[in-house]
C-alpha cells in the first residue's frame, strides 16, 4: 500500500478545490509579498501557496519582512503576488493581473484582493502562464456578497435542522450546539473565499428559542465560528429576533422607541463586538410569517431597523433587514389582496428613512423564489435606501437538489435585468450603487447607496456538500456572479468543471454541459407553467406537484384556474394594480397582454385557455407540449449520464444517477398531473392526442 493510499480521505468532497487544481500554480517559482498588514487572510494565501508548491514541485519565496520585490526578484519567478505598492488598485478586494516577460504578476489592494487574485490564477490553470498581456483589472461589482444559512441549532420538529436544506444536517451545529470540531467549517470557508463570498449569516432567519441565545450565552461559540471564517475573508453575521429584549432581556416590551429597549440592544451589540471585533452585524426577518417585529407597537420597519442600526453603528456593524413582509393569513376569497404587492406597499413609503448602515434585503421576485417570476419592483423603488437582492441557492422551488437545475442562467437574467431608468439600469447596478449609464450618475459627492447580493445557502454535512453533486455548481456560480454579474453563466460552468475535474476527459465537460446548461428551463417546462408559480405540494415541503395545493390556502399564492382560463390579473386596468409598481417601460409592457412576455403571462394576466401565446401556440397546448418535451429531455439526459459512467468518479456517477432516476419519476408525475388538471378544467383536448388521465 502506498503512502497516498494510507492517507485518510477527508469525510467530504473537495468540491472545486481539489489539490490537482493547484497543479499549474504549484509547479512554478512563486514569490509572495503579503504586505505589512497581511493578517489572517494574507497568512492563508501564504499557506495555500506553500502547500501547493510543496505538493507540485515548485518553490515559494515569502518576502518577509515586507518589502516591494526588486525587478531581479520578479524576473527570477514565474508568479509574483504582492499587496499594495504605490500603483495598487483601489480597494482591499481588488487586484490587477498582468503577464510580463514571462512572469505573471498579481498586484492586490489588500490581503483579500491577494486571496482573490491567487484563486484567479488557480482558475486560469496553465493559461495563467501563457502569452504576455497587459494589466487586467478585477474588482467585485457588489460590495457585499453574502450567504445566509437557514440553519437551526436544534432540530426543528417541522423544518429539521436546516430549514429548506437538502444536503443533510448543519455544518455548524450538531447535538443542539455548535460543533466542537470546526475543521469542515474551515474547509467551507475556504471554498467561499475562493469565489469571493465575503459574508455569512450563521443561523436561520426564523429565530427559534435556542438560536436566539446565540446573541447572548452563545457568543463564545459564535466567536469560534467567526474565527473559522476569518482567514478566508468572510465576516460573520447573526440572525436575531426582534423580540430579544423581552425573550432574552426580560423587558416588558420590544418597542423600538422605548429607551430601555434601545439600551438593551446597544449593550447586546457591545457584547457581540467584544467577543468578535470584526463581526458583521445582524440579519432580521420581522413581521413576517410569524416573526416578531415593530408592527406590534404601532411602529414601522424604519423604526425597527434603525433601532438595531444605532446599536451596531458604533462598532461599524450593518443591519440586513428583510423586505419579505406580507399577510400570511390571507382569505383566499379576497381577490383584491395581492401578496406580490406587499413588499412595495410596506417599504417604498419608508425610502429615505433608513439609517446608512441598514441594508434592505429584497427577494429577487415579488413572491417567493419561484422558478420564474418578474424582478421585484422594490429594487427600483427605493433610490435613497441601500438595497440588496436575495437569491435562493438552496433549491426549495427548483427541485430540492433532487433535480438537476443549474441556476446560473436564471440569476444572470435577474442581475442583468434593466429594471430602472427606462430599462438601462440593471439590478446588479442598483444593488451595487452604480449608475445605469455614466451620464445618469450622481455628482461625485453624492454616491448612490450600495449593498450587494445575498443568497440562501445550499450546503449541509452531506459528503458532497450539496446532496446533488451538480448543485455544487450553483454555489460556485452564485459567488462568481455576485463578483461579476456580467460573467457568462455557461462559461462559469467551464470554470467549475475544470477546477472540479482537473485534466479530465473532454467527455466530462460535454456531459455536464448537456445535463446542466438548459436544466433550469427544462425544470420550468414540467413545473408550474408560464410564470404562474407554486402548484407544489404543501404536505411534502414544496416538493412535487399538487396543482391546487395552495389554491384555497392562506398563503396568497393562487393561480385561479377555472373552466374558462388561468392566471392572476395583476393589471391596473382590471386586476390588483401590481403592474403599477414598476417603472417604465415595464409598467406598460407587463400591463398589456399583447406585450407581456410568454414566460410571465400567467403571473400578470388571467387568460382564456385558448389564448394564443407569442410563440404561436395556445396556453393549453403549450402546457401539453412543453411537459411532454421536458420529460423527453430528462429521459435523454438520464441515458446520457448512464453512457458516461467510465469518465466520472464512481461515487459521483452513482449519486447523480440516483437523483436522475428520481428527477425522471417526478417530472413524469408533474407532466401527468398538470396536463390532466388542465384538461379536466378546460375540456380542451391535446391536439397530439397523448394520454391524459
Ligand atoms: C419561504 C420558505 C420559508 C422561509 C421564507 C423566508 O417562505 O418556505 O421556509 O422561512 O421563505 O424567506 O423567510
Based on the fold, state whether residues 104 and 176 are members of the same structural domain: no
Based on the fold, state whether residues 29 and 125 are members of the same structural domain: yes
> What pLDDT does residue 441 have?
59
Based on the fold, state whether residues 39 and 165 are members of the same structural domain: no
Q: Kindly report the CATH number assigned to the domain that includes residue 414.
A: 3.20.20.80
Angle at which helices 519-526 and 619-643 cross, to 10°: 130
- Domain with 373, as residue range(s), is 144-489
Given pLDDT bands bounded at 50, 70 and 90, which one contains residue 445? low
Pocket residue to mutate for ligand 1, from 286, 292, 396, most atoms within 8 A of Cβ: 396
Choose the final residue of a domain: 138, 163, 179.
138
Q: Kindly report the CATH number assigned to the domain that includes residue 540.
A: 3.90.1330.10
Cβ–ligand 1 contact at 235 (below 6 Å) = no
Measured CA distances, 297 to 89, 247, 261, 481, 558 (Å): 48, 16, 12, 40, 31
Nearest to 635 by CA among 674, 663, 671: 663
Total of domains in the chain: 3
Could you tell me the distance, in angstroms and rounded to a whole number, from the CA of residue 319 to the centre of ligand 1?
Answer: 19
Based on the fold, state whether residues 150 and 101 are members of the same structural domain: no
Each residue's pLDDT tens digit, 106-150 = 999 999 999 999 999 999 999 999 999 999 999 999 999 999 999
Cβ–ligand 1 contact at 230 (below 6 Å) = no
Q: pTM of the full predicted structure?
A: 0.97
Choose the final residue of a domain: 83, 118, 138.
138
Based on the fold, state whether residues 68 and 148 are members of the same structural domain: no
Based on the fold, state whether residues 459 and 558 are members of the same structural domain: no
Each residue's pLDDT tens digit, 25-42 = 999 999 999 988 899 999
Could you tell me the distance, in angstroms and rounded to a whole number, from the CA of residue 431 to the centre of ligand 1?
Answer: 22
Cβ–ligand 1 contact at 579 (below 6 Å) = no
Based on the fold, state whether residues 231 and 329 are members of the same structural domain: yes
Each residue's pLDDT tens digit, 495-508 = 999 999 999 999 99
Q: Kindly report the CATH number assigned to the domain that includes residue 54.
A: 3.30.379.10
Least confident of 85-89, 306-310, 466-470: 85-89
Based on the fold, state whether residues 101 and 249 are members of the same structural domain: no
Q: How far, in whole angstroms, is CA 635 from its chain's centroid?
A: 29
Distance CA 118, CA 189 (A): 16
Choose the final residue of a domain: 443, 470, 489.
489
Do 61 and 30 contact (CB within 8 A), yes or no?
A: yes
Cβ–ligand 1 contact at 285 (below 6 Å) = yes
Cβ–ligand 1 contact at 152 (below 6 Å) = no
Could you tell me the distance, in angstroms and rounded to a whole number, from the CA of residue 598 to the centre of ligand 1?
Answer: 27
In sequence order, what are the residues at sequence separation of 6 or more whose Cβ sits closer than 8 angstroms to the Cβ of residue 620? 609, 610, 678, 682, 684
**Backbone angles phi and psi of 645, in degrees to 5:** -55, -35
Classify residue 518 as exposed, middle or buried by CB count within 10 Å of its CB (0-12, 13-18, 19+).
middle
Cβ–ligand 1 contact at 368 (below 6 Å) = yes
Say if residue 18's pLDDT is above 60: yes
For atom 7 of ligand 1, which residue has the closest CA?
368
Based on the fold, state whether residues 217 and 356 are members of the same structural domain: yes
* Ligand 1 atom showing the smallest separation from residue 150 Cα: 10
Q: What residues act catalytically?
A: 289, 368, 396
Do 111 and 45 contact (CB within 8 A), yes or no?
A: yes
Based on the fold, state whether residues 123 and 149 are members of the same structural domain: no
Based on the fold, state whether residues 534 and 477 are members of the same structural domain: no
Each residue's pLDDT tens digit, 182-194 = 999 999 999 999 9
Distance CA 472, CA 679 (A): 38
> What pLDDT does residue 425 have?
97
Amino acid at each position: 500500500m502506498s503512502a497516498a493510499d494510507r492517507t485518510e480521505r477527508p469525510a467530504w468532497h473537495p468540491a472545486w478545490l481539489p489539490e490537482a487544481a493547484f497543479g499549474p500554480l504549484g509547479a512554478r517559482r512563486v514569490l509572495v509579498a503579503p504586505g505589512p498588514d497581511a493578517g489572517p487572510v494574507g497568512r492563508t494565501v501564504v499557506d495555500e501557496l506553500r502547500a501547493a508548491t510543496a505538493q507540485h514541485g515548485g518553490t515559494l519565496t515569502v518576502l518577509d519582512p515586507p518589502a516591494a520585490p526588486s525587478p531581479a526578484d520578479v524576473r527570477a519567478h514565474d508568479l509574483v503576488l504582492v499587496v499594495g505598492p504605490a500603483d495598487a488598485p483601489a480597494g482591499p478586494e481588488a487586484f490587477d493581473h498582468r503577464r510580463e516577460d514571462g512572469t505573471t504578476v498579481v498586484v492586490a489592494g489588500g490581503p483579500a484582493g491577494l486571496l482573490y487574485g491567487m484563486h484567479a490564477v488557480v482558475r486560469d490553470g496553465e493559461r495563467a502562464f501563457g502569452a504576455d498581456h497587459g494589466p487586467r483589472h478585477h474588482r467585485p461589482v457588489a460590495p457585499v456578497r453574502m450567504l445566509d444559512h437557514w440553519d437551526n441549532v436544534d432540530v426543528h420538529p417541522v423544518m429539521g435542522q436546516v430549514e429548506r436544506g437538502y444536503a443533510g444536517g448543519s455544518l455548524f451545529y450538531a447535538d443542539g450546539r455548535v460543533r466542537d470540531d470546526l475543521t469542515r467549517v474551515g474547509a467551507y470557508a475556504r471554498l467561499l473565499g475562493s469565489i469571493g463570498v465575503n459574508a455569512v449569516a450563521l443561523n436561520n432567519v426564523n429565530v427559534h428559542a435556542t438560536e436566539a441565545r446565540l446573541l447572548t450565552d452563545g457568543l463564545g461559540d459564535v466567536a469560534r465560528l467567526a474565527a473559522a471564517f476569518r482567514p478566508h475573508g468572510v465576516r460573520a453575521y447573526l440572525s436575531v429576533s426582534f423580540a430579544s429584549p423581552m425573550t432574552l432581556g426580560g423587558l416588558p416590551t420590544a418597542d423600538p422607541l422605548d429607551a430601555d429597549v434601545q439600551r438593551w440592544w446597544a449593550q447586546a451589540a457591545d457584547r457581540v463586538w467584544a467577543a468578535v471585533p470584526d463581526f458583521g452585524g445582524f440579519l432580521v426577518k420581522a413581521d413576517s410569517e410569524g416573526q416578531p417585529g415593530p408592527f406590534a407597537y404601532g411602529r414601522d420597519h424604519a423604526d425597527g431597523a434603525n433601532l438595531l442600526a444605532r446599536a451596531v453603528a458604533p462598532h461599524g456593524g450593518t443591519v440586513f433587514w428583510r423586505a419579505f413582509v406580507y399577510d400570511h393569513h390571507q382569505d383566499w376569497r379576497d381577490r383584491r389582496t395581492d401578496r406580490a404587492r406587499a413588499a412595495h406597499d410596506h417599504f417604498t413609503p419608508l425610502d429615505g428613512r433608513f439609517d446608512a448602515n441598514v441594508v434592505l434585503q429584497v427577494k429577487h421576485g415579488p413572491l417567493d423564489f419561484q422558478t420564474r417570476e418578474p424582478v421585484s419592483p422594490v429594487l427600483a423603488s427605493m433610490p435613497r435606501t441601500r438595497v440588496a437582492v436575495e437569491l435562493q441557492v438552496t433549491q426549495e422551488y427548483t427541485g430540492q437538489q433532487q433535480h438537476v437545475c443549474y441556476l446560473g442562467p436564471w440569476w444572470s437574467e435577474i442581475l442583468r435585468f434593466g429594471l430602472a431608468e427606462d430599462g438601462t439600469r440593471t439590478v446588479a447596478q442598483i444593488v451595487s450603487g452604480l449608475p445605469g449609464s455614466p451620464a445618469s450618475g450622481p455628482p461625485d459627492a453624492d454616491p448612490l447607496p450600495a449593498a450587494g447580493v445575498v443568497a440562501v445557502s445550499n450546503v449541509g454535512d452531506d459528503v458532497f456538500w450539496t446532496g446533488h453533486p451538480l448543485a455544487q455548481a450553483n454555489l460556485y456560480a452564485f459567488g462568481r456572479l455576485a463578483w461579476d454579474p456580467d460573467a457568462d453563466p455557461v462559461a462559469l460552468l467551464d470554470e467549475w468543471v475544470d477546477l472540479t475535474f482537473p485534466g479530465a476527459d473532454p467527455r466530462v465537460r460535454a456531459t455536464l454541459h448537456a445535463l446542466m446548461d438548459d436544466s433550469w428551463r427544462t425544470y420550468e417546462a414540467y413545473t408550474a407553467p408560464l410564470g404562474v408559480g407554486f402548484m407544489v405540494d404543501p404536505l411534502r415541503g414544496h416538493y412535487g406537484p399538487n396543482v391546487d395545493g395552495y389554491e384555497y390556502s392562506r398563503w396568497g399564492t393562487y393561480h385561479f384556474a377555472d373552466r374558462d382560463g388561468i392566471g392572476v390579473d395583476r393589471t391596473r386596468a382590471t386586476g390588483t394594480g401590481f403592474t403599477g409598481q414598476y417603472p417604465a417601460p415595464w409598467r406598460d409592457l407587463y400591463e398589456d397582454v399583447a406585450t407581456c412576455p410568454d414566460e410571465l403571462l400567467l403571473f400578470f394576466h388571467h387568460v382564456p385557455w385558448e389564448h394564443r401565446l407569442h410563440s404561436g401556440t395556445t396556453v393549453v397546448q403549450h402546457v401539453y407540449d412543453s411537459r411532454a418535451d421536458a420529460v423527453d429531455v430528462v429521459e435523454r439526459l438520464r441515458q446520457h449520464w448512464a453512457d458516461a459512467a467510465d469518465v466520472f468518479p464512481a461515487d459521483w456517477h452513482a449519486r447523480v444517477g440516483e437523483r436522475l432516476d428520481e428527477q425522471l419519476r417526478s417530472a413524469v408525475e408533474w407532466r401527468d398531473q398538470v396536463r390532466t388538471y388542465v384538461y379536466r378544467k378546460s375540456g380542451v383536448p391535446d391536439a397530439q392526442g397523448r394520454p391524459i388521465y
